[in-house]
Chain A
């Protein structure tokens, strides 16, 4: 592995800031242990979080390593097109979760997404989804860990093994102690740290570049003939933008499938919302999260664009790295080193560490819940005491972390592991969205239809992925253009997988016997009485704020068209 010289040096005040952070998260974990005694407390934080706490935690669990460094690097590579993963690739799905899907999750009182599938389709679909989710979660957690350790090595010169073990043991201790209480508390702290640690980069960067107009002029000067600052106008043809993407891939693959799948069925994020104290808070939480999600490009995408404008060197892909050069993924640390002196540097590094740990904590707490409630309880030990399951959850957190550490070391062996992670994500999340959505909205969907649809969708995604790797000519068939880069391929792969899932679910369901109506109460649209919203003023209604979020989303698209 090629390791360039370290990018920054830390002063004593920086080290103090990092040490205080580790101390704070551990103290919070120990403090909260006394409150996480029952299953509902440990796995769902007692279902008593306010909309704001659940909403910020919902967002923070997603701000992992791929988000902070990966997308900053992607914005250097692809320009503002990367912002689509924060806008159309998040906002409609988050609002859909809050307004349409959350009532079903919340009313069914499920502990997890596979738990919902068990109620709706039975053990087969639930078991398949739980196993694939567990597999994906552990792999993601390991890759997050490896990515963090690698960044700490490149940025600070820290030993890679030291970073992996210290950060993962810290996460393990605080999550195993306080369960979801602890994960959520720390995620809220991490949310503030990430913003305060990273927001100064775009502020100072814009001052240096001469505002937005100065930034655009400098990018055009540095990269003549390339368009990095328009989000939609270059998507008419694959060859007009640096991503090799067409608008259909963004709208249907990313907006309609990948993002809907992730934000509405990935239990890592949905678990945070299920911890809300009542249905109105559960509906409001993702809506609150959507406002901040729209703003995340400020601290992730904008630094990449500023890098294009002000950095004297040209960054290169990881695979083409030569001694003395830096890769796309180094853009955020490079900007940090450019603007932040002692103190602010410590805060920025703490923000990065906090982001990694939030992602890792999200993965292990979701894994512990799905293992305990959706694999261990239905398939291994059915009727144990609540305390037994809490104890299993604590052990599972630790064991999950050790397996993650193993996958982190495994990830070191693969140069392009991050590409595969994105693909892996589309294998399991895209078909799951089809299955959950059909289950919630179509009363005729049957248990066999749900199971076979999920299985067929997953196999389709894996099949397309493998066939495109074996024969590159098939990229033109599945991704509609030979120019489609890997991210674009993932979008179409997800789209096909979801379509196959829905098609198989419909065909098999029509050929099999549906569940009786009495068993669908609280699970399916038309058989579920959604509680009437309490008589609250307009400003406290979820639907009002969802409307405001839609308006802001549209305005952003027009501004950066």
Chain B
């Protein structure tokens, strides 16, 4: 993203944040699997699939944009 300054790509940071948040949300969804919160459509277990989507996307961003040593 930045040719002159060699800054870590912002997409890598996006990936890190998505991965971290996704993992926390999936863990929370699994923890509440049997003891569902009093929210509408809790039976759909949104935290598990939404958090998983974030983990996958975050991992893809990290892999694609991880900082590489410049030659």
Q: In the complex, A102 Cα to B53 Cα: how many Å?
A: 37
The B-contacting residues of A in range 342-394, CB under 8 angstroms, are: 342-344, 346-347
Q: Which residue of A lies closest to B41 (CB)?
A: A204
Q: From known contacts A185-B13, A193-B17, A342-B32, infer whether A53 and B1 are also in contact, taking CB-CB under 8 Å.
A: yes
Q: In the complex, A192 Cα to B54 Cα: how many Å?
A: 10
List chain B residues, Cβ under 8 A from A66.
none
Q: In the complex, A24 Cα to B32 Cα: how many Å?
A: 27
Beta-carbon contacts of A157-180 to B below 8 Å, as 1s and 0s?
A: 000000000000000000000000
Which of A20, A24, A31, A196 gathers the greatest number of chain B CB atoms within 10 Å? A196
Q: In the complex, A48 Cα to B2 Cα: how many Å?
A: 6
Q: Are A343 and B29 in contact (CB under 8 A)?
A: yes
Q: Are B13 and A28 in contact (CB under 8 A)?
A: yes
Q: Are B21 and A341 in contact (CB under 8 A)?
A: no
B46 → A minimal CB distance (Å): 6
Q: Are B14 and A188 in contact (CB under 8 A)?
A: yes
Q: From known contacts A46-B5, A338-B39, A341-B39, infer whether A192 and B18 are also in contact, taking CB-CB under 8 Å.
A: yes
Decide yes or no whether A298 CB sits under 8 A from chain B. Answer: no
Q: From known contacts A196-B54, A344-B25, A344-B46, infer whether A48 and B3 are also in contact, taking CB-CB under 8 Å.
A: yes
How many chain B residues touch A (CB < 8 A): the figure is 32
List chain B residues, Cβ under 8 A from A347.
21, 25
Q: In the complex, A185 Cα to B1 Cα: how many Å?
A: 11
List chain B residues, Cβ under 8 A from A28.
13
Decide yes or no whether B64 CB sits under 8 A from chain A. Answer: no
A222 → B minimal CB distance (Å): 17
List chain B residues, Cβ under 8 A from A339.
39-41, 46
Q: In the complex, A344 Cα to B4 Cα: how many Å?
A: 38
DSSP class of B's interface residues: helix, strand, loop or mixed?
Answer: helix
Q: Are B40 and A204 in contact (CB under 8 A)?
A: yes
List chain A residues, Cβ under 8 A from B1.
48-50, 53
Residue from A184, A193, A342 in contact with B28 in the complex, judged by beta carbons closer than 8 Å = A342
Q: In the complex, A49 Cα to B41 Cα: how many Å?
A: 42
List chain B residues, Cβ under 8 A from A342.
28, 32, 37, 47
The B-contacting residues of A in range 1-28, CB under 8 angstroms, are: 11, 13, 16-17, 20-21, 24, 28
Beta-carbon contacts of A77-89 to B below 8 Å, as 1s and 0s?
A: 0000000000000
Q: Are A192 and B29 in contact (CB under 8 A)?
A: no
List chain A residues, Cβ under 8 A from B10.
53, 184-185, 188-189
Q: Which residue of B lies closest to A14 (CB)?
A: B28
Q: Are A189 and B14 in contact (CB under 8 A)?
A: yes
Beta-carbon contacts of B27-60 to A below 8 Å, as 1s and 0s?
A: 1110010001101111010110011001000000
Decide yes or no whether A240 CB sits under 8 A from chain B. Answer: no
Q: In the complex, A181 Cα to B28 Cα: how many Å?
A: 34
List chain A residues, Cβ under 8 A from B14.
188-189, 192
Q: Are A24 and B51 in contact (CB under 8 A)?
A: no
A292 → B minimal CB distance (Å): 15
Residue from A50, A204, A343 in contact with B24 in the complex, judged by beta carbons closer than 8 Å = A343
Q: From known contacts A189-B13, A193-B17, A339-B39, infer whether A207 and B44 are also in contact, taking CB-CB under 8 Å.
A: yes
Q: Which residue of A lies closest to B11 (CB)?
A: A188
Q: Which residue of B lies closest to A191 (CB)?
A: B14
Residue from B18, B24, B41 in contact with A196 in the complex, judged by beta carbons closer than 8 Å = B18
Decide yes or no whether A200 CB sits under 8 A from chain B. Answer: yes
B58 → A minimal CB distance (Å): 9
List chain B residues, Cβ under 8 A from A208.
40-41
Decide yes or no whether A340 CB sits under 8 A from chain B. Answer: yes
Decide yes or no whether B63 CB sits under 8 A from chain A. Answer: no
Q: In the complex, A50 Cα to B29 Cα: how many Å?
A: 37
Q: Which residue of A lies closest to B26 (CB)?
A: A343
Q: In the complex, A333 Cα to B24 Cα: how many Å?
A: 21
B59 → A minimal CB distance (Å): 14
List chain A residues, Cβ under 8 A from B50.
196, 200, 344
Q: From known contacts A16-B24, A207-B44, infer whether A341 and B37 are also in contact, taking CB-CB under 8 Å.
A: yes
List chain B residues, Cβ under 8 A from A20.
17, 20-21
List chain A residues, Cβ under 8 A from B51.
343
Decide yes or no whether A35 CB sits under 8 A from chain B. Answer: yes
Q: Are B28 and A343 in contact (CB under 8 A)?
A: yes
Q: From known contacts A20-B20, A343-B51, infer whether A46 and B2 are also in contact, taking CB-CB under 8 Å.
A: yes
Beta-carbon contacts of A38-63 to B below 8 Å, as 1s and 0s?
A: 00010000101110010000000000
Q: From known contacts A32-B7, A189-B10, infer whether A341 and B40 are also in contact, taking CB-CB under 8 Å.
A: no
Q: Which residue of A lies closest to B48 (CB)?
A: A343
Q: Are A181 and B7 in contact (CB under 8 A)?
A: yes
B66 → A minimal CB distance (Å): 16
11 new A-B contacts, CB < 8 A, other than A192-B18, A193-B17, are A13-B27, A24-B13, A181-B7, A196-B21, A196-B50, A200-B46, A204-B41, A339-B40, A342-B37, A343-B24, A344-B46
Nearest 10 pairs of A and B residues by beta carbon: A341-B37, A343-B28, A343-B25, A13-B28, A35-B5, A188-B10, A341-B39, A343-B47, A342-B28, A185-B10
Name 7 A/B residue pairs within 8 A (Cβ), A-sorted: A13-B27, A46-B4, A181-B7, A193-B17, A196-B50, A208-B40, A343-B29
Residues of chain B having any CB pair with chain A under 8 Å: 1-5, 7-8, 10, 13-14, 17-18, 20-21, 24-25, 27-29, 32, 36-37, 39-42, 44, 46-47, 50-51, 54
Residues of chain A having any CB pair with chain B under 8 Å: 11, 13, 16-17, 20-21, 24, 28, 31-32, 35, 41, 46, 48-50, 53, 181, 184-185, 188-189, 192-193, 196, 200, 204, 207-208, 277, 310, 337-344, 346-347
